[in-house]
Structure 1
């Protein structure tokens, strides 16, 4: 791949930002969400301060949760398999919709989900509240499926998760499972995981779940204790919480936040091949030291505003049509949207609406996931 070197970027930021150079490749002109620099594949970091600590993660974002400023990034919009970090999107989508005290009897299919599980049995032992704990502490794939069943089924749950991602402008994210188990076409990015985490921190129930270290979980004969998989809850000062994930194809990922004083720093990483806890701690430390002192390299965008309902007789493209176009089958992980996909979106929407959607999308990039 060759040795990386630092080169100055635009004249506006030449004194504030350095970018790790990458081989030149053809790219589309659609700017990436959050700022032009976030389309770079290499490290984008401010000058004038100590650079971020090295990380083996293929992609990461360090951001200020309050201001939305992205302080440093590495291939922020690279699309990868999210593994169980996708459960944060599941929780963010379903917490407002489900009665936390509702009793649930999981199906045998839910109880037999592969991978990490909390150990559900097909009996009405569980409240929705218990299942969210199992989802965010034990990373239970069985709990993810049971929550989807409680929400009306897998199909509507995935539709709602993808609608939530679009509202957040997390356009790199395509949910194909509620658990994050690998599936063709499923993807996210470090930038999107940071957006999802930032939105989750604004929900009190979400914050409580990710901050819980241990909890009692119902069993046929009493209870047993479950523990949070986020090791930084025990070892990092001010850790608010987060969600980690791992599969053999996705490798390691994490998205979480810590708070010191009145400031919260978000770190999201993807595609890490080894132990990443110390590296995440180092990036958090760097973020706290850099915030307020550096020129940001981008920003975490705000969610889109709710759209007012349009009369049924209006002969224009409706919000439902826009959602249908946006929810068309997504690209495979780590590949940008093709020109055909962009063409379909432009054809399905009228005038300014179409170009608004296109303008929010990141620049097209073609890579492999090896």
Structure 2
């Protein structure tokens, strides 16, 4: 496959390595975003250094990409993929609907909000569990509520195509590593920008904490894993993630002076919070003053939305158990969770027991 080298212009400081174009017309969002190295406007201070393999800084209001590094590099997204799950399903599901999770959902590995197989949850509760404490169990329960794993993955990939997030392939609703499941810093910015236009999505990712139902009419408090909600002025929130294969990833947005900046990073080894804050600061200082290096494109109108290509074909309509390797995976922090061997909507098994297990934080 041939590679296209884009000439360096006087407007930009950049490197000359490239990634393959998505199509003959070049990378989505502009040719400069096909570069693997740092791409930033000339005439302003270079963005702060970061250990992230890939990142994007964008103006959410205009869609202008202010700086980027390997914007279209395709990497495992970890739990930042839950932003696509939420962005896809929030408009589809009645948030007042009562849900009885299956045994499969309850027994998901990694980060969990602590579901049981009792019908004590609303869809609204499950979205809180998904986006605050990154519940892998909540993600599967939402997929089941949407008609099953196959249908939900098809919907997620169709939504990615509609948003023109062409680097993204979803093979789970929760981001646990699976071969072929990929996204990019550019696509995560597209998904976050679209999600933030939905008031419910914005409300969920902005919550610092929430009460979550427990059996016998009780509840417990769950907290948001996004530490910048407490540390960074104007932080809206969005989502962080981590697995041993994906390393750290983050999608964040903040508003100051009536303007919103989005920062996405992928493949970060270590604690990224301070560096993300510095990238946000740079974005606020640069917005409206520089020539952008690219553009977050608009979604394809619904009537023109394309069907995912056969290469991205999803699994049969079934609810598979996500692999045992997931036991070694978690998000950026662990949370109070519960696992129950129990009967669910799809399996009709008898409810056997309830227990809450605590998982201590293992990553930033």
TM over 0.5: yes
- Cα displacement (A) at 1:307: 1.6
Gaps of 5+ in 1: 1-7, 309-318, 331-370
Q: Which residue of 2 aligns with 1:50?
A: 45
Unaligned ranges ≥5, structure 2: 315-364
**Shift of the alpha carbon at 1:20?**
2.5
Distance (whole Å) between structure 2 residues aligned to residue 46 and residue 9 of structure 1: 15
- Distance in 1 (CA, whole Å) between partners of 2:149 and 2:240 is 22
Equivalent in the alignment of 2:59: 64
Q: 2:167 is paired with a residue of what secondary structure?
A: coil
**Structure 1, residues 154-202: CA drift from partner, whole Å, max 9, x if none?**
0000000000000000000000000000000100000000000000110
Q: Mark the CA change 1:111 to 1:77 in structure 2 (over 3 Å): closer, same or farther.
A: same
Q: Identify the residue that residue 168 of structure 2 maps to in structure 1.
A: 173
290, 299, 303: which is aligned to 2:299?
Answer: 303
Q: Please point out which of 254, 259, 263 is paired with 1:267.
A: 263
1:325 aligned onto 2:320: no
Cα deviation for residue 280 of structure 1 reads 0.5
**Residue 19 of structure 2 contacts residue 73 of structure 2 at CA under 8 Å; is this kept in 1?**
no
Deviations 1:199-235 (A, max 9, x none): 0110000000000000000001400000000000000
Matched, 1:82 2:66: no
Moved over 2 A (4+): 8-11, 24-30, 324-330
Count of residues in Structure 1 that have an aligned counterpart in Structure 2 = 308
In the aligned structure 2, how far is the partner of 1:247 from the partner of 1:270?
A: 11
1:152 Cα offset (Å): 0.5
Distance (whole Å) between structure 2 residues aligned to residue 291 and residue 30 of structure 1? 27
Given the alignment of the two structures, is residue 31 of structure 1 paired with residue 15 of structure 2, yes or no? Answer: no
Equivalent position of 1:231 in the other structure: 227
For the residue of structure 2 that corresponds to 1:56, the secondary structure is: coil
Retained in 2: the 8 A contact 1:63–1:266? Answer: yes
Shift of 1:242: 1.0
Q: Normalising by the residue count of structure 2, what TM-score does the alignment of the two structures yield?
A: 0.82
Q: Is the 8 A contact 2:202 2:236 kept in 1?
A: yes
Deviation at residue 15 of structure 1 after TM alignment: 2.6
CA contact (8 A) 1:16 1:294 kept: no
Q: 1:122 aligns with which of 117, 120, 126?
A: 117
In the other structure, the counterpart of 1:352 is none
- 2:131 matches 1:136: yes
Q: TM-score, normalised by structure 1?
A: 0.80
CA–CA distance in 2 between the matches of 1:326 and 1:49?
A: 44
SS in 2 for 1:323: coil
Match of 1:160 among 145, 155, 162: 155
1:313 — aligned with what? Answer: none
Equivalent of 2:196 in 201, 205, 212: 201
Residue 327 of structure 1, CA deviation: 5.9
User: Paired residue for 1:258?
Assistant: 254
Alignment match, 2:181: 186
Deviations 1:20-63 (A, max 9, x none): 243x7887854000000000000001111111000100000000
Q: 1:107 to 1:31 in 2, by over 3 A?
A: same
Could you say what secondary structure the match of 2:288 adopts? coil
Match of 1:110 in 2: 105
